[in-house]
Amino acid sequence: MSAEVHIRDARDGDGDALIALIETCWADYPGCILDVDGDSPELRSFASHYRAAGGRAWIAECSGRIVGSAAVEPATDGAHIQTLYVDPGLRRRGLARRLVALVEAHAVKSGARRIDLWTDTRFTAAHGFYESLGYERRPGTRRLDDASRSVEINYVKRLRA
């Protein structure tokens, strides 16, 4: 894709295209099933969901097509990165780094001193990406009662004001 990628605040109307992006990303991982109504109903009102939680959500577009997403929500001990996805055809071009930078800047501005995320154990390329940004893997895993039978690992990073 040679067109420029623009990042903007998410809108609730982005839901269907965001769901399609996540399905595309998960297609590379056998057993990953996106059950929106059962596991991720917030995708249908992406912007409102994170706004109501005190967070924020972004969408990356290229030629009118959604090619990336990210969200942040506050937590008692800092902030959480949520819904970080980049179209497979645009990976390794800096888009995910741009999205994470927006998330981290928002978290710092909101007073967070640490940020964390949970990621499926199957998403090994993402693990290396997070580590390259200074995220440290924490011990242990958590099992989700979802359609994908997900097992997730946790990453955390200290933020500087």
The domains of the chain are located at 5-158
For residue 40, CA distances in Å to 22, 27, 118, 148, 155 come to: 11, 17, 15, 12, 21
Long-range contacts (CB closer than 8 Å, 24 or more residues apart) made by 118-124: 118/80, 118/142, 118/152, 118/153, 118/154, 118/155, 119/152, 119/153, 119/155, 120/29, 120/32, 120/148, 120/150, 120/151, 120/152, 121/150, 121/151, 121/152, 121/153, 122/29, 122/31, 122/32, 123/29
Which CATH number does 5-158 carry? Answer: 3.40.630.30
Position 2 pLDDT exceeds 80? no
Confidence category of residue 78, pLDDT binned at 50, 70, 90: very high
Position 1 pLDDT exceeds 60? no
Percentage of the chain exceeding pLDDT 70:
99
